[in-house]
Amino acid sequence: MDTVIECSALKKEFKINKRPKGFLGHMANLIVPKFEYKQAVSDISFRINRGDAVGFIGANGAGKSTTIKMLTGILAPTEGSITALGVHPQKDRKQYVAKIGAVFGQKSQLSWDLPVLDSFYLLQKIYQIPDQQFNQTLEQFTDILDMSGFIEQPVRQLSLGQRMRADIAASLLHKPELVFFDEPTIGLDVVAKEKIREFVRYLNREMQVTVIFTTHDMQDIEQVCQRLIIIDKGRKLYDGTVEGIKSTFGNEKKLIVQFESPACVYSIPGVSQKLKPNHVIEFSFSSDQVAVKDLVQALLAEHAVLDISITEQGIEQIIREIYEKGI
């Protein structure tokens, strides 16, 4: 398989100036500055193949942005190695940036006061995109990203959703093979998020662009990515399919039963009970250990039941528990 990114034992340490408090401390710091070291990424290795759509997730401060910055060549790793698209992202920066795209949800690459289209023309010059290719790509993106209504407006007048679509188009005009999306759906409403996901899916599946996607929204992951890398405190916690994480960790089920009258259900092995108002009991169990059918049959045999519903752990809940308890 064609490897697009290979990184090995990546480590990033930030040197932080530790300023003592007060005027004297400030003066002392000028003469003998004191530093401390912050380990943002401790040991991360993975390989990404052409055509992959990889969700790169972790709790706040886990080291996602730092890793993405190393992969895009913005930051140099303290230790470890990266080869991406056959080159060294930092040493061969010029060659590398011509082949990659990066979309940062928190930061626009468009000029605030210029109409969107003018920023696009500027990028055409920077990337030296031939007119015919540029016009064709622009027409295609204007259509798919529904930009015709605002493409001539200055960026500062756009809504967040419009700005994000324009930013995505801007980062793709030079037809990169590999695109990094760093929280592209942050702050968007459900419809706007859906449009972005649809477009990234199209990019990955129809245009075979390799996608690395960081987000805190698990719907992004479920709808866009096949593979998931979870990092925690600068280390890789999980690397596998999205389906795999659901089948491995998503066995927890809840059966919510409303009884006709206050019910006392005997303890059932492997099942925990929580009493709720209106004669409702919530039974929690692992589908590995207890079959739903057996549990329902046992309850119906002994009690008059008004209503039954069952809930499964969604990916959101699975990931929350992994962040809280580890793997």
3-state secondary structure of 92: coil
**Is 106 or 311 the residue whose CB approaches ligand ATP more closely?**
106
Per-residue CA distances from 321 to 233, 251, 252, 297, 317 (Å): 15, 13, 11, 30, 6
For residue 38, the minimal CB distance to ligand ATP (Å) is: 5
Burial status of residue 121 (CB atoms within 10 A of its CB: 0-12, 13-18, 19 or more)? middle
Size of the site for ligand ATP (CB under 6 A): 12
Number of other residues whose CB lies within 10 A of the CB of residue 208: 10
Among candidate residues 188, 148, 165, 52, the one with its CA nearest the CA of residue 108: 165
Distance CA 132, CA 78 (A): 42
In the three-class reduction of DSSP (H, G, I as helix; E, B as strand; rest coil), residue 16 is classed as strand
Q: In degrees to the nearest 10, what's the CA dihedral of 239, 241, 243, 248?
A: -30
> Could you say which residues in the range 7-66 bind ligand ATP, by CB under 6 A?
14, 16, 38, 40, 58, 60-66
Interactions with ligand ATP, residue window 222-241 (CB under 6 A):
none
Closest CB to ligand ATP among residues 37, 202: 37
Nearer to ligand ATP, 12 or 197 (CB): 12
**CB of residue 152 to ligand ATP, shortest distance in Å:** 33
Exposed, middle or buried by CB within 10 Å (0-12, 13-18, 19+), for 282?
Answer: middle
Choose between 58 and 73: whose C-beta lies nearer to ligand ATP: 58
Q: Which is nearer to ligand ATP, 63 or 161 (CB)?
A: 63
Q: Phi/psi of residue 194, each to 5°?
A: -60, -40
Q: Please report how close the Cβ of residue 24 comes to ligand ATP at its closest, in angstroms.
A: 25
Which one, 80 or 154, has the nearer CB to ligand ATP? 80
Give the single-character DSSP code of 33. -
Q: Show the binding pattern over residues 276-305: x = contacts ligand ATP (CB under 6 A), - = does not.
A: ------------------------------
Separation CA 115–CA 164 (nearest Å): 14
For residue 265, give both structure tokens: 């259900």
Q: How far is the CB of 319 from ligand ATP (least distance, A)?
A: 13
We find the least distance from the C-beta atom of residue 106 to ligand ATP, in angstroms, to be 8
Which amino acid, one-letter code, is at 32?
V
DSSP class of residue 149? T
- If the CB atoms of residues 11 and 303 are measured against ligand ATP, the closer one turns out to be 11
> What residues have CB less than 8 Å from 126, skipping those under 6 apart?
none
Q: CB of residue 67 vs ligand ATP: minimum separation in angstroms?
A: 7
| Closest approach of ligand ATP to the CB of residue 41, in Å | 7
Q: Which two tokens stand for residue 141?
A: 């993106």
Shortest spacing between CB 294 and ligand ATP, in angstroms = 42
Distance in angstroms (rounded) separating the CA atoms of residues 82 and 75: 12
The total number of residues written for the chain in this structure: 327
In the complex with ligand ATP, the residue whose CB is nearer, 107 or 274, is 107
Minimum distance, C-beta of residue 40 to ligand ATP, in the bound complex (Å): 3
HSE-up of residue 99 (Cα within 13 Å, Cβ side): 18
The binding track of 120-139 with respect to ligand ATP, each residue x by CB under 6 A or -, is --------------------
169 or 231: CB nearest ligand ATP? 231
| 76 in contact with ligand ATP (CB under 6 A) | no
Instruction: Catalog residues that contact ligand ATP under the rule CB under 6 A.
Output: 14, 16, 38, 40, 58, 60-66
